[in-house]
Every structure is written in structure tokens, then in C-alpha cells.
Structure 1
Amino acid sequence: MTAAVALTESDSLNDRLPTLEDIVGAAARMQGIVQHTPLQKSEFLSRKYQAEVLLKREDLQPVRSFKLRGAYNRISQLSRAERQRGVVCASAGNHAQGVAFACSALNIQGTLFMPANTPALKVNKVRQFGGSHVKVVLTGHTFDEACQAARAREAESGATFIHPFDDPDVIAGQGTLALEILDDSAGTPIDYLFTPVGGGGLASGISTVFHHHSPTTRLIGVEPSEAAALQHSRKAGHNLTLDRIDPFIDGASTQRIGERCFDICNERLHRVLTVEDQQTCQALIDLYQEEAIVAELAASLSVAALEQCREEIIGKRVVCIVSGGNNDFSRAHQIMEKAKGTNG
């Protein structure tokens, strides 16, 4: 695993963290835009782990991931002057789709920076959702490199940067799915919740809601083993930047957790697990073959992590966040080879 080094955040972040009230407000703001996705029991996983395993199906959003929630909540609150200047973002793919959808819905121009190795499916979907409202720029090989280019464009143009995770309005938007989970649970306690972690926005929003409404639920963040920025940072006691990551799990591979996200996740996640690519690929295949769910690799992290908790979740009620379904099947051979434990 790559070493980790400390880095001082250059952004001037305010101290505001999203509140439960912010998340409730976001849910009201995005009615008619964001789908209330189902909380679906997985018979296969429930039998396998002798537990009641429920899947939060964010792959069923209009943009096939949870990212629409945060992007729309942030962009819909821009002032008239900010809307006229447009927006800019950086994304491994799913956030860009959410921004593109919001730009089209709100008649705002956006420039979207994505790594050059972003799966073609995600790039094409961004263009489809944004249409004439967006311009896609492919640059760099990681989210972090694309983000540097997006920040430079922000400084040049005066456009508003829509952060994919380290923004209170984005975090609040992502947290709305936790409200849905609790509504659909009908008062029945949830013992464990497993959520993928990339930059930390989703985990931050979820943990904010559960901290207030279901504090006994064990919240477990799951990262790729080769991009485990949160786990390294928690062990160090402060936020770190990894000097190198493997972007194979493209939707959850960042060198550094968001500043706000680290503070929230460090306090409210009960545990952070890492999963090898082999297990994540197998989980993706199992979801497709056993449940007919087309999940992407990052979305499969939560399911892959169940194996590490096999004994403790017996007889428990468990929720896994299936965070998105933008899987490019041109990568199918590579995914199958990795699941077998070969390099492909």
C-alpha cells in the first residue's frame, strides 16, 4: 500500500457543517427531481450471511447514482449572478452526471472536468444529461488531477466550483437517502449500515442523519484497499493525502478525504474497512448474477465488506448502500479476471 503524507488544505473552508435541518430542507428542495429509491431485501445475501440484508438502490436514480442529490441541492441554491457565471466541477464520472442533469434542469452552463481514463459510459451519459448546457474536459488520470484543472478554470472564469463531496450543501443532499432508509424501515431498527467511501460526502450525510435518528446503528465505511485515504487518516489522527492510489475502483478512489467529511466520518463512523479489488469485483458479479442488479465497482464495496463481518452480522438487520449503476461493460473482462485473482 502506498505511503501517506500530510498536506495542508489550501481552500478557505468555512466552519459550517451540514445539520439535520439542512438535510430535511434538501429533501423538500429536490422533490420531483430525485427518486425515492427502494430499500430492497436481497434474498441471496440474506441466505449467505444468515441476516436480513437490505440494499438501498441508488442505481435506480435518473443518473444511476446518488450523486444527483448533492449536485442538485447545491446548484439549485445559486444566486442569479452565480447562475449567469456558470459552474465548473471535477468528477470521476457520477458527480459530473448529477451536475449535468442539474445544469440542464436549471438552465445553467457548466464545464465538467473528468479523468482521461473515465469509463466511456460515464462520459457519454454526462453529455447526454447535460446536452448543450455542458462542456466535458478529459484530463489527468485521477480525480485529483482533474480537480486541479477544474480549480484553475474556476479562477480564470469566475464560475462556481461544485465540489463533489466537501461542501455542506452537497453533503446535505447526499444525506437525504438516509431519511428515505429510515422512512422505509417503518420503525424496525437497523443494526448495521455499510456505505462506500470515496471523498466522504455520502458517508458524512448518512452518518449525520443516523447520529440523530438511529444512534445505535453501527455505521461502517468501506474503501478500496488501494485508495484508503480515510482509514490512513483515522489511524494518523488527522487528514492525510495519499501520495499514490490505484484508480481501478474509479468511483471511490481519491487521494484525500474532504476536510468536512473527515471531521464528520472520523467522529461518527464506527469503523472503516478496506476491501481488495478481487472481492469487490466478485461482489459486482454476484449482484448481477444473483439479483439482476447492474452495480458499478464503487457501489459493490458495501456488499464486498460483508464477508469481513460475517460472524457479527448473523441474525442482524443490515443495510448496504448500492451507490450507483454506471458500470461500463467494456471493462467486463478485466473485472472477471480480477475476481479470479489474476491481473487481467
Structure 2
Amino acid sequence: MNTQLMPSVSVEDITRAHLRLKGIVLDSPLQYSHRLSEIYGANIYLKREDLQEVRSYKIRGAYNNMSLLSDAQRAQGVVCASAGNHSQGMALACAKMGVRGTIFMPSVTPQQKVKKAKAFGKEFVEVVLVGDTYDDAYAEAIKAAETNGWTFVHPFDDLNTIAGQGTVGLEIYSAANFPIHKVVMAIGGGGLSAGVGSFFKALSPETEIIGVEPKGAPSMYESLRAGKIVNLEKIDSFVDGAAVRQVGKINFPIVQEVVKEVILVPEGQVCATMLDLYNEDGIVAEPAGCLSVAALAKLGDIRGQNIVCVIGGGNNDIARTSEIQERALLWAGLKHYFIVEFPQRAGALRDFLHVLGPDDDITHFEYTKKHNRAVGPALVGIQLSDPATYDDTMKRMAESGFKTRAINKDSTLFEMFI
């Protein structure tokens, strides 16, 4: 690789961005986590970007980028695409600067994020919902920019955005009066990791930068493996703040240089981490916001190390709570779904209950008799008290005489019924 031709962000770029952001963003706390430190035998610190006014670090890149636009560009108007948090950052920047902006967001974006973008942007911003992923919204935003002469404010693939996100690293470095062994953060398009990584590579090269992606959207992971940017055909958009099909063209070569490794975390584990942070620490983190904490278990032996996890955002929609709980239970091996053929006779369900352990429970039962056959199928969800009892449950099912089919690992049937 010809490093002379590589795009780069300097400490000076990030320092200047930090000065522009004075009075706009919170110098968010670097909070010591007693619970996580005890679990991992390390010193775990949380960089609380969920406490920003827009509840994520994205205000940094959006505001810094817009601060550097010309008067003519601001007068003409701006446009962006976002899965949620960048939209709020740009919306707030538009309102503070009095600039007209249009924001394209995927139709599946949680309503909490959509409403917040409109609230921050006030009369200066219009929100347009389109497509199923960030990439769909991006394509429409680019068309609108070309048609209307608007300036596109990129959420990650722009050096000015990257410099703004890099101020997270500047604050971590400034607040820590100890050597930092690892900084762990989510990767979507690569803006945060490129910015923070660039800062630490210059001033603390011994600090390892660890990126984390959801298993269902491993765009940076696959790109690094291939040695080039890849475009994923299909992604799971649940971790909406870090789910992109393709990482930034500017970001990728920077990440190659400054990020030590990218770790993949299953969406179910992300959900379990969200619930733990809320129940144990009182932290409301969105899925992408807690990827860094979810990755701690995959870092190997970190005993005695000083680790910083960036809590990137807290824009979680409470309407998703049931789905979050469900995904967490499935990942933990506590929730299982079966298709069970029940004899058409009285007492069949009562007989089936004997397959349950003393602390297990039926959480879903869907059965409709639409024929006169001797047996009829039912969709049954069972929650176990301990994942280790699954084999015993399956043994009792086999001995019960009921014909059953487990569908958790049958993706076709699972997506059809659940």
C-alpha cells in the first residue's frame, strides 16, 4: 500500500474539531465500571457518549462537517442519509446554524429516532423514510443532492466527519491518568474507529483499537479479510446504528492502519448486554451503543488491563423491548420453539405438560383445528430455567410419544413462524 496516497486525519485536525465543538457537545464522562471490572478482572471504563444531547457521538462529526461548509453551501441546503443517530446530529446542527436540511432514513428506523430527528431539527429539517437499510436511504439522498444542488453531509465517509468523531479519542486520552491498553468501539461505516484510531496511533501507538460489528452485518470484518472493500448482499438491520452493507472508501484504508482487529458479536448477545446494562447499571444503551461491552468476553485474557468501552449511543426505542428480550433468551439457549403434533382428544395438552422441567414454562402456544385428522400441529414456545436442561427436555419429548420438530435452528421455518 502506498501510504503517501492514503487519506488521513491528523491530531491537529481532531484538535481543531474539538475547539469547534466547544459548547456544542458534552465532554462525556469516562466512567469506571465496578461491575464489569470485577467480572473481567480488569479496569473497565465506559466513555458515556449516550449522555450527549442527541444521545450519541454522531453530533461530533455532523457539526464539525457542517462548520466547514461555505456560506453558499449552507444557503443552498444540506442532505444526509442515516440509520438514526447521524440524522439527529445533523438535525441539531441545522437548527443551531439555521441551515435547511433533508434527512433520508430507512423505513425500519425505530420511531424514537425518527421523532428525535424531527424534534432537534425543528422547522429547518425534513425527514424522509425510504427503503429497508442505510444503503437504500443513502442512494436516495445522493439523488436528491444531485437534483437540488444540496451538499451531502456523510455520516462516516468524509475526513471532516472522521475528525469530528476523533474528538472522542482526544477526550479519552485527556481524561485518563493511566496507560490505556485497549479502546473498544462499534464499527458501522468506520467513522468513529478511523478518527479515534488515528488519534491514538499518533499519541499512544501502544494502545490497541478494537472494532466491533454485529454478526449479521460484518462489512468491515469481511473487507479486512478480503483486503478490499466488499459489499454485503444481505445484512441483519437489527443493530441499526452499525448495520451497513459497505464501509466508507475513505475510512477503510485508515481502519486498516489503525485498528488492530474487528470482533463479531451475535445480535442475541448484544440484546443480553443491553438488558444487563439497564438492569445492573441503569444505562439505557441502544444495540450499537453496547457492542463494545458485549465484545469484552471475546477479548481473551485482559486481567489487569485498562480497557475503555465507548457507549456510542442511547437511542433505544422502548417498543423494541419484547424483541430484545426474545433475542436475548434465544441466544442464551433459554427459549426454544417446536412444532408439536397433538392428538385430537381431550387431555392431550395436559399430557404434554409432563415434558416440562419443574421450573420451565410454556410462553407461546398457537393451535387451530382446521380439519378432522387424528392429529393437529401447534407452535409451542418453551422457556427453560437452565440451557443445560435442553437435552433432558428433548429426551422427555421423545419418550412422551408426541411428534415434535425443533425449529430454532431451521432458519426457513423459524423466520416463517416467529
**Alignment pair present for 1:210 and 2:210:** no
Aligned residue number for residue 264 of structure 2: 274
User: Residue 325 in 1 paired to residue 314 in 2?
Assistant: yes
Residue 82 (structure 2) pairs with residue 98 (structure 1): no
User: What is the SS of the residue equivalent to 1:272?
Assistant: strand
Does structure 1 residue 110 correspond to structure 2 residue 101? yes
Q: Does 1:184 align with 2:175?
A: yes
Counterpart amino acid of 2:227?
Answer: G
Q: CA deviation at 1:272?
A: 0.7
Residues 1-344 of structure 1 correspond to what in structure 2 (within 5 A)?
Answer: 16-186=7-177, 188-309=178-299, 311-341=300-330
Cα 1:15/1:151, change in 2 over 3 Å: farther
Matches of 1:278 and 1:314, distance apart in 2 = 25
2:359 corresponding residue in structure 1: none
1:22-41 Cα shifts (integer Å, max 9, x gaps): 10000001100011000001
Compute the displacement of 1:17 (Å).
2.5
Unaligned segments of structure 2, at least 5 residues: 336-413
Q: What amino acid sits opposite 1:100 in the alignment?
A: A
Structure 2 counterpart of 1:166, one-letter code: D
CA deviations on 1:187-217 (whole Å, 9 max, x unpaired) are x101111110000000000000010111111
Q: Which amino acid aligns with 1:27?
A: H
Report SS of the residue matched to 2:246. Answer: coil
Determine the C-alpha separation between the residues in 2 that align with 1:163 and 1:268: 21
1:15 deviates by 6.2
Distance in 2 (alpha carbons) for counterparts of 1:291 and 1:105 = 33
Cα distance between partner residues in 2 of 1:54 and 1:16:
30
* 1:209 counterpart letter in structure 2: F
Q: Tell whether the 8 Å contact from 2:94 to 2:124 is kept in structure 1 after alignment.
A: yes
SS of residue paired to 2:250 = helix
Q: Which runs of structure 1 show a deviation greater than 3 angstroms over 4 or more consecutive aligned residues?
A: none
Shift of 1:267: 1.4
Q: CA deviation at 1:78?
A: 1.0
Which amino acid counterpart does residue 328 of structure 1 have in structure 2? Answer: D
1:318-340 CA distance string (max 9 Å, x none): 00000000000100000011001
Q: Gaps (5+ residues) in structure 1?
A: 1-13
Describe the SS at the equivalent of 2:27: coil
**Per-residue displacement from partner, 1:86-125 (whole Å, max 9, x unpaired)?**
0000000000000000000000000000000100000000
Distance 1:17 1:157 in 2: 30
TM-score, normalization: structure 1? 0.94
- What amino acid does structure 2 have at the position aligned with 1:221? G
Alignment: residue pair count: 329
Letter in 2 for 1:52: N
Q: Is the 8 A contact 2:145 2:152 kept in 1?
A: yes
- Correspondence for 2:397: none
Matches of 2:230 and 2:110 in 1, distance apart?
Answer: 27
Higher relative contact order (CA 8 A, sep 6+): 1
Letter in structure 1 aligned against 2:109: T
Aligned amino acid, residue 111 of structure 1? T
Aligned-residue CA RMSD in angstroms?
1.1
DSSP 3-state at the match of 2:23: coil
The TM-score with structure 2 as length reference comes to 0.78
**Cα distance in structure 2, aligned partners of 1:208 and 1:234:** 17
Letter in 1 for 2:245: Q
Distance 2:312 2:279 in 1: 18
Distance 1:136 1:15 in 2: 35
Q: Please give the alpha-carbon distance, in whole angstroms, between the structure 2 residues aligned to 1:41 and 1:259.
A: 35
**1:124-161 CA-partner distances (Å, limit 9, x unpaired):** 00000000000000000000000000000001000000
Secondary structure in structure 2 of the residue aligned to 1:226: coil
Q: CA deviation at 1:264?
A: 0.8
Does the residue aligned with 1:223 lie in a helix, a strand or coil? strand
C-alpha distance in structure 1 between counterparts of 2:10 and 2:328, whole Å:
40
**Which residue of structure 2 lines up, in the alignment, with residue 11 of structure 1?**
none
Compute the displacement of 1:260 (Å).
Answer: 1.2
Residue type of the alignment partner of 2:313:
G
